[in-house]
Structures are given as structure tokens and as C-alpha cells.
Structure 1
Amino acid sequence: MIQKTIYLIRHGETDYNRRGVVQGSGVDSDLNEMGRAQAQAFFQAYQHVPFSKIYISGLKRTYQTAEPFIELGLPFEKLTGLNEISWGVMEGKAPGNLENEYYRDLIESWAAGNSAKTTDGGESPDQVVARQKEAVATILAHPDEETVLVAMHGRAMRILLCWITNQPLSLMDQFEHSNLCLYKLQYNYDTAAFTIELANDTAHLLSLAMAS
């Protein structure tokens, strides 16, 4: 039985996250001080894992999150299919009343099963799935890479976790996430099935909470 273990993480905190500003794929922000501390804490907890390769999105916040591992000399590959959803006109804006209403309507539409509905000037969950499928196919095309680290983004993770577990996208909000949380996945090549072993795990960040 050939299996692949995937450590799927969300990027560390950015100032946009802290201020509740929408980033999406159009805002290429850096990790803030807390985000870098989170990346270091994750590295301290998981540096012993024999990762064969690291996969990141095309946005630098995922590179910076995985950077401590990359600095060990581990090979890495950028896959833009792992990018965050494009939120279109909402990107870079703090959610004011009007945008909150727009955002709420959008999330409610998706939860009602309208996953073809696009953000204004951006993408729909269905469009995100299409590019994610290509990225995941690339990752799975290397069964010799038994354990990999994948760094990506919150909404994109929710979408990914839904379709890889054969659930409708209307259920994506059940997948909780926080900055630098871990989802540990197993992929079985014989059954072509994913299982989730750990969900939204942040035990590696406890040292930061104690320090603050």
C-alpha cells in the first residue's frame, strides 16, 4: 500500500489578517512579526519530520511560512493553483458595513450550494477547484515523495479540504482554520482516497501563547 503524508498548513499572520482586511490572491503581503514567530514555532515542532519536498503557493506569505525548512536545503516548488481565492474588488479593503453585507451574501450563496457564484471581479469556488485539481495532481504525481509540506491559504484550504474528501463545496465552512494551523492528511494511492488525521491543529503555537 503506497501512501503519501501531507502536512497542510495555512500561512502565518500578516498585518492584513490582524486588521481583518481581505487579502485574496491579489494582495501579496508579508508575514508580520507574529507570523514569523508562528513559522519559527512550527519549524521547531516539525523540523524532525523527513519532508521530501515543500509545495507553496505563488504568494510570498507561504514562502516566508515555509522558509525555515527551505533554508535547510529542502527542495520546494511554487504552484499557483494553491493560491488564495481571488476576492476581486474586496481585496485590500477593510470590511465596512456594505462590504460585510456583500461578503455575508456571498458566503450564504456558497453555503446554499451556488459554488459557481464568483466574487465581484474575482473567482468562484468552482474555479478555485479547477486550478487546485491541477496542483494536487502535480503533488500526487510523485509517490516517491512520501511526506510533503504544503503551505497555502484559508479560504483555499476550506475549498480543497471539501473536494478531496468528496463533500459538496456548500460545506466548506465546516473546516476551521487559523494562522499557521495544521491539517495532517494521508493519501492512499490504492484507493485514491484522502483521510484527515489532524484538523486545525495549533498545539505547536502554545509556546507563543505562553510567551505573550
Structure 2
Amino acid sequence: MVRFGLTVVRHGETRYNKDKILQGQGVDEPLSATGFRQADAAGLFLSNVKFTHAFSSDLLRAKQTAAAILGKNRFCKDLEIKYDARLRERKYGVAEGRPLADLKAMAKDAGEQCPSFTPSGGETLDEVRERAKDFFEFLCQLAVELEQKEHGKPGAPGRSSGTSGEQFVFPWTNHCSEAEPSSEGSGSSTVLDANILVVSHGAYMRNWIGYLVSDLNCTLPANLTKSQLSSVSPNTGVSHFIIKLENGNLLKPIITCVCLNQDSHLVDVGAECVASKVF
């Protein structure tokens, strides 16, 4: 059984986020002062989670967020962040750099709903989902290869089965409806072949989570509403998943969502925590 943790975080706020201007891929805006505070708060929230890998979109707002999160981590300050273009925000074509209201007006003129409308030069939702699917399959393959590598070492401990109980400390228990399964103690059930941090973008993440739920039958927290599922994560919202691959089967992952778009760490940051459903 291959088992890995996946923590997905949206980047911190930018000036364009605050002003409800579409960034997409063509506007590479840095974090605002509030965005840096949000990223630091997310880092403190995740400070006791021992990540084995960190991936980020190669856009500046995501890169800065990932660096801030790892900078607050007790175990992973020096962990290499790998930048991947597959994690970029949805491309909005001619709508990039323009107010969200303009995109809504374009969709209305075309007789379409805003979330599914594709501006000229932009990506379709299917194209975004294909990027997300490709990246998720890459993560599953990575976890399988790590498990195979460790399994091939006689007497070698698992990647996360060391003597330090600290690496099993997860923050989900006090903030989410479901705790990390068997997150306390050091029994075999706590072993993760990888524990992966991913920093990406709002519309991309919504499409990715939609893929996990609709295509891969991801199990969701019992109290999650349809509105919460369809909403875009707030800036630095945290989602956490456990993925199991029986016999290394990449085609049928068993996915459990422990928490979705968790934002309790933002209470004292002073920014809006509720995101628009369309952004």
C-alpha cells in the first residue's frame, strides 16, 4: 500500500486580488503586504508538518507564498521548492489584467455562465483539468517510486517512520471536521511514503478538486456543503488529502479529503477570508 499526504494551499493576496482584477498567467503580480502576512500565518499553521516534497506554480505570487510557508516550518526550512508550470492559474486570455466584472460581462454577452466561459485566448475548463490530472498522476507516480525505493532496502525504515514523533503532528484535528487518520503515535498506520506541499491558484485548485471529486470519487468531509465545494479557496486557504494506492495501482487512487479551504489561520490577519465563487 502506497500512502501519501497532499496539502494544497492557494497563494496569498495580491493587489489585483483585492481589486478583483484577473491575473491568470499573464499578470505576474507579487504578494501584497496582506498577502505576506497570510503566507506567514499559513506557515505557522503548518509549521509542525514535516513535508518531504514541495511544489509551486512558477508564478511569483505562488513562489513567494511557498517560500514563506517553508520559512516558518520547524523541519523543512531548507526543503527545495520545485516550480511547475502545470500548477499555473487558468489562462484568461484577453480578460487578464481586467476587472472580474468584465469577464462576467463577456460571458453574459456570449450567453454563457461565467465559470465555464472561455475568453478569447484563454484556457477551457477541460484544458485546466487536464493539466491538473497530469500533475496529480505525476505525484502518484512519485509516491510509488519512493515506496519502491524504500522497500528495496532491507531493514530500512519507511520514509516517515522514524523515531521522532514530531513528524506525525498535523494541525487538522482542531480546525477541521475530520482529523488526520491515525496521526498520533508511531504505528505503521501513520507511515506516509511522501508528504507533499503544493502551492497554486484559486481557479486552478477548484478545477483540480472538481477532478478529484467527480472523476476519482474523493471522499469529502461530512459537513461540507455544495456551496463550499464550488467556491474558490480564500487566499492561503489550506486543503489536505490522504491518497492511498493499493498495490501501487495508479489508476484507482483512494482519496480522502480531510479538510477543504481551511482558513482559521486568517482570523487575525485582517483580510477578507471569504472568496468569490467566481475568480
Deviation (angstroms), 1:207: 2.9
Deviating beyond 2 angstroms after TM superposition, the runs of 4 or more aligned structure 1 residues are 68-71, 103-111
Question: Which is further off, 133-142 or 121-130?
Answer: 133-142
Q: Write the deviation string for residues 12-60 of structure 1: whole angstroms up to 9, x where unpaired.
A: 0000000010111111110000000001111111111000011101211
Q: Provide structure 2 residue ranges, at least 5 long, that are not aligned to the other structure.
A: 72-76, 147-192, 217-226, 247-251, 272-279
Question: Which is further off, 16-25 or 74-83?
Answer: 74-83
What residue number does 1:150 align with?
A: 198
**Distance in 2 of aligned mates of 1:133 and 1:167:** 10
**Distance in 2 of aligned mates of 1:155 and 1:99:** 14
Task: Please state whether the residue corresponding to 2:142 is helix, strand or coil.
Answer: coil
Q: Provide structure 1 residue ranges, at least 5 long, that are not aligned to the other structure.
A: none
Report the structure number with the largest CA radius of gyration.
Answer: 2
Give aligned-pair identity as a percent.
Answer: 27
Q: Mark the CA change 1:19 to 1:109 in structure 2 (over 3 Å): closer, same or farther.
A: closer
Q: 5 Å matches for 1:86-165? A: 86-96=91-101, 98-103=102-107, 108-109=112-113, 118-143=118-143, 144=146, 146-165=194-213
User: What TM-score results when the alignment is normalised by the length of structure 2?
Assistant: 0.66
What residue number does 1:46 align with?
A: 46
**Distance in 1 of aligned mates of 2:31 and 2:142:** 30
**Distance in 1 of aligned mates of 2:244 and 2:105:** 41
What letter is aligned with 2:255?
F
**Distance in 2 of aligned mates of 1:164 and 1:93:** 30
What residue number does 2:189 align with?
A: none
Q: Mark the CA change 1:149 to 1:88 in structure 2 (over 3 Å): closer, same or farther.
A: same
What residue number does 2:239 align with?
A: 183
- Which protein, 1 or 2, shows the higher relative CO under an 8 Å CA cutoff with sep ≥ 6? 1
**Distance in 1 of aligned mates of 2:134 and 2:22:** 25
Question: Which is further off, 136-145 or 151-160?
Answer: 136-145
Q: Mark the CA change 1:29 to 1:107 in structure 2 (over 3 Å): closer, same or farther.
A: farther
Q: CA RMSD in A?
A: 2.6
Equivalenced residue count is 203
* Structure 1 contact 165–195 (Cα < 8 Å) conserved: no
Q: Mark the CA change 1:101 to 1:69 in structure 2 (over 3 Å): closer, same or farther.
A: closer
**Distance in 2 of aligned mates of 1:32 and 1:88:** 24
Task: Please state whether the residue corresponding to 1:120 is helix, strand or coil.
Answer: coil
Task: Please state whether the residue corresponding to 2:79 is helix, strand or coil.
Answer: coil
Deviation (angstroms), 1:105: 6.6
Question: Which is further off, 184-193 or 80-89?
Answer: 184-193
